[in-house]
Amino acid sequence: MTALERAGHRVFLAAASVVFLAYVLAPVAWLASSSVQQEAEITSRPPHWIPQRPTPENFAAIFEAKEKQVTYENRRQGDPATGGYIPSTARNLMPAMWNSLIVAVAVVVLNLLVSVPAAYAMAKIRFIGRSASIYFMLITRVIPDIALVVPFFLFIRKLGLLDHLGSLVITYLAITVPFSVFILVSYFESLPDELDKAARIDGCSRLQTLLLVYVPLAVPSLVAVILFTFLTSWNEFLLALMFTQTPASQTMPIVVASFASDFTISFSFINAAGVLAVVPPVVLAIAFERYIVSGLTAGAVKG
Amino acid sequence: MARIRLQSVGKRYPNGFSALENLSLEIEDKAFVVLLGPSGCGKSTTLNLIAGLEDVTSGALYFDEQIMNVVPAHRRDVAMVFQSYALYPHKSVYENIAFGLRMRGHPAADIDRRVKDAARRLELEALLDRRPHQLSGGQRQRVALGRALVRQPAVFLMDEPLSNLDATLRIAMRAEIKQLHQTMQTTFVYVTHDQAEALTLADQIVVMRDGVIQQIGSPEEIYDRPRNTFVASFLGNPPINYLEGMLTEEGEALCFQRGSLSLVLPHALALRLKGQAGRSVKLGLRAEEVDEHSVPRPGETLHGRVSSVLPVGSDQYLGFEAEGKLLFFRVGRDLRHREGENVALSVNVNRLQIFDSGTGDSLLWSGNGA
Ligand SMILES: Nc1ncnc2c1ncn2[C@@H]1O[C@H](COP(=O)(O)OP(=O)(O)O)[C@@H](O)[C@H]1O
Ligand SMILES: [Mg+2]
């Protein structure tokens, strides 16, 4: 390869990266930009990527929504400053975010409590039915969620958990545990059996082996599992739509979706809600940043 | 301190594979026992059973008089060195060595003293803060040894601990392990497929094949009085040579006969073969049991043609065609044979082995005689 060819190669790669980044980031940029625009500006053509008259009103509306009674009669009064429309359910957003956070954290914690020991057992203890149980768990994930909605619903109703956060925690665990176990099994299997044996010879019980030797080594995979589980819970829509009915248990995606079905739609307000919805996952991603890439590939090495 | 006893032990893995069948073995307290056999014969399985890393499927395992079948590994007073060393990648050398003591609740001062002692003895003092990935193979091996010996266990198990080292280091470590055994005064069970390692280290060698013990004995016994062709073939370099033939009686003497070859068996051997004349047998002739210097005497002579000469440093291997078979001998390097020469070699008939040509069992040493 000549120097010229090499340079050309580099330029091509750089250009391709820019195109790809623009493709991925443009919607996010538009989300962020439009969330501080007024309803009038958001609909202007061509769109303003840089807001000409940025306004915090949409966010203010969300954080102050609690104190305001938005009704059919007064909705048009809305916010004099923006002239935008604040949906009648705006006040539900913050409680819904809080619900989402509770559910996601609970699912992450319970998921780890179940999937880490399960994965260790499947990877390192040879019991009868070991491979069958791994396959069975994966097969449950081949079934689309929509097919499970009705059985889940009946089940949740029998448990008396309709319109209760518990219904979401239970069903999200059913969705996330198999995949978490799968990621961790392949990682634990990639660690040599002799490590397990050495720990037990050194005086560890099975549980101590898991906690003192395997878990510290599995941190990248655990981070992958935490992220996957958190994001799945945070974004889940279908089941939450079925099982929650009142603000007591509604989660963020349900409430945001309800904004779009209000009498009138305020896109800038919805986008402001969208920006808030992005914050927790981003915080999580930044916190675990240095493990993310190695974790995502760790599970992929084997299995 | 412990005497280990396996009584009719069987091991069947969950996949249905039966790795050991009816294995009985007694290991004396403070002995150095080597389990020797080809890969897959069940050596590691036996070791894992002793360690408690696998469960015994049938039979009984005793330490002294105590039955150990269901005692979990962390309650047995055993230490083990693994082929891959299995050091904890996330712990420093110090913590790797200290871990077993910590798990057993030793006081911190005691741990520190013992770890430093072990480190001094294995020349690891300068490396205590390193992580395993910052060590060479030989250093890792010594950390693995340190981790085991720091606990001063009743039973010291080693599963091919030297097979990942290069040849020079391996010889040096052999000497070190031998010395370790002498100073530690505990029972050592050592697994290897390397006959030289077994012969240098062991008080007792246990030769295994397909989960069945073939022979138990001191290195000399195993080498000089193999019970069957498997044991005879497994030890010796180059391997023992076999010639099929007949036992014949010539007057007073008992002879091994094959074509023009006739070897007169010495009295001691002939006694053990009483009444076997006329039987077809397999003669075992070790590679070093020919003498090319002394003048061959009748009844001790092997005529043949040199087909290849392979110098191996101190010795040379001689490919030798005799009686329609290709045999290999080890002779001194001062010997100047050329390929294609016809030579008569003097056979050390006192060291001949005679096996049943069908079963391969020794007619000299099997059963009662050995
Ligand atoms: N966990 C296991 N499951 C099934 N078969 C096994 C298992 N471990 C070992 N084996 C089989 O048992 C036999 C003996 O194995 P092993 O004791 O490791 O042999 P060695 O150490 O002498 O090479 C081999 O054939 C091996 O394939
Ligand atoms: Mg082995």
> What are the tens digits of pLDDT across the range A10-20?
999 999 999 99
Indicate the average pLDDT of chain A: 84
Residue A16: per-residue pLDDT: 95
Domain span at residue A123 reads 91-296
Residue A263's pLDDT is what?
63
- A58 inside domain: no
Please give all residues whose beta carbon lies within 6 A of any atom in ligand 1, as ranges: A 126; B 13, 15, 17, 19, 37, 39-45
Q: Comparing B329 with A297, which gets the higher pLDDT?
A: B329
CA distance B207 to chain A (A): 24
Quick: pLDDT tens for B234-259: 999 899 999 999 999 988 889 999 98
| CATH 3.40.50.300 residue spans of chain B | 4-228
Q: What is the pLDDT of residue B150?
A: 94
Residue A262's pLDDT is what?
A: 65
- Give B5's strand partners: B26, B62
Question: What was the pLDDT predicted at A298?
Answer: 46
Q: What is the CATH number of the domain that holds A103?
A: 1.10.3720.10
H runs (alpha helix) in B235-369: 267-272
CB-CB contact of A198 with B78 (8 Å): no
Distance of CA B36 to CAs B29, B130, B191, Å? 19, 34, 6
Chain B partners of A199 at a C-beta cutoff of 8 Å? 88, 99
Contact across the interface for B53 and A197, Cβ inside 8 Å: yes
pLDDT for residue A188? 92
Q: Average of pLDDT values for A27-31? A: 89
What are the chain A neighbours of B83 within 8 Å (beta carbons)? 194
User: Distance between CA atoms of B226 and B205, rounded to whole angstroms?
Assistant: 12
pLDDT band at A74 (very low <50, low <70, confident <90, very high): low
Confidence of residue A302 (pLDDT cuts 50, 70, 90): very low
User: pLDDT-based confidence at B370, cuts 50/70/90?
Assistant: very low
Average pLDDT over residues A42-57: 81
Question: Where exactly does CATH 2.40.50.140 map onto chain B?
Answer: 236-356
Confidence at A89, pLDDT banded by 50, 70, 90: confident
For the record, the structure tokens of A69 come out as 């009674």
B132 CA from centroid of ligand 2 (Å): 23
Q: Report CB contact under 8 Å: A198, B86.
A: yes
**Contact A200/B53, CB-based, under 8 Å?**
yes
Q: Rounding to the nearest 10 degrees, give the CA dihedral for residues A273, A274, A277, A278.
A: -140
Pick the ligand that lies closest to the CA of residue B209.
1
Mean pLDDT score, A28-49: 83
The span from the CA of A197 to the CA of A202, in Å, is: 8
A-chain residue closest to B75, CA distance:
A203
Residues with a beta carbon under 5 angstroms from ion ligand 2: B 44
Residue A118, pLDDT score: 94
Q: How confident is the model at residue B162 (pLDDT cuts 50, 70, 90)?
A: very high
For residue A227, being part of any structural domain is answered with yes
What is the pLDDT, as a whole number, of residue A77? Answer: 52
Tell me what the mean pLDDT of segment B160-172 comes to. 89
Token readout for B271 is: 């006694």
- A188 contacts A180 by C-beta, under 8 angstroms: no
A interface toward B at CB cutoff 8 Å? 126-128, 130, 192, 194-195, 197-205, 208, 213, 216-217
Mutation to test the B interface, candidates A128, A193, A201, most B Cβ within 10 Å? A201
Q: Looking at residue A128, what is its pLDDT?
A: 79
B4-228: CATH superfamily: P-loop containing nucleotide triphosphate hydrolases (3.40.50.300)
What 3-state DSSP class applies to A204?
A: coil
d(Cα B87, Cα B147) in Å, to the nearest integer?
A: 9
What pLDDT does residue A299 have?
Answer: 42
CATH architecture of the domain B236-356 equals: Beta Barrel (2.40)
CA nearest A130 in B: which residue? B14
Question: What's the mean per-residue pLDDT of chain B?
Answer: 91
Does A255 map to a domain? yes
CB contact under 8 A, B104 and A205: no
* A64 CB neighbour count, 10 Å cutoff: 14
pTM, entire model: 0.80
Percent of chain A with pLDDT over 70: 87
In a domain, A57, yes or no: no
Out of A126, A200, A213, the one facing B74 most closely (by C-beta) is A200
A12 within a domain of the structure (yes/no):
no
**Interval A268-300: pLDDT, tens:** 888 888 898 999 999 998 888 877 766 555 444
Structural domain count of chain A: 1
Q: With 90 as the cut, is the pLDDT of residue B118 above it?
A: yes
pLDDT digits (tens, 9 = 90+) for A226-275: 999 999 999 999 999 989 988 888 999 998 888 877 666 778 888 888 89
- b/e for A95-116, b at 16 or more Cβ within 10 A? bbbebbbbbbebbbebbbeebb
In a domain, A76, yes or no: no
Record: contact A203-B104, CB cut-off 8 A: yes
Residue type, B153: P
> Cα distance from A179 to chain B (closest Cα, Å)?
26
Asked if the Cβ–Cβ distance from B14 to A199 is below 8 Å, we say no
Closest chain B residue to the Cα of A219, Cα to Cα: B90
Smallest CA–CA distance, residue A108 to chain B, in Å, is 25
Arithmetic mean of pLDDT, A167-173: 94
In contact, B4 and B63? CB cutoff 8 Å? yes
Confidence of residue A301 (pLDDT cuts 50, 70, 90): very low
pLDDT at A80: 41
What pLDDT is stored for residue B189 in this prediction? 96
> Which pLDDT score is estimated for A293?
66
Distance A23 CA to ligand 2 centre (A): 54
- Which is more confident, B190 or A256? B190
Tell me, what's the pLDDT at A303?
29
What pLDDT digit, counting tens, does each position of B27-85 carry?
Answer: 999 999 999 999 999 999 999 999 999 999 999 999 999 999 999 998 999 999 999 99
**What ipTM does this complex have?**
0.83
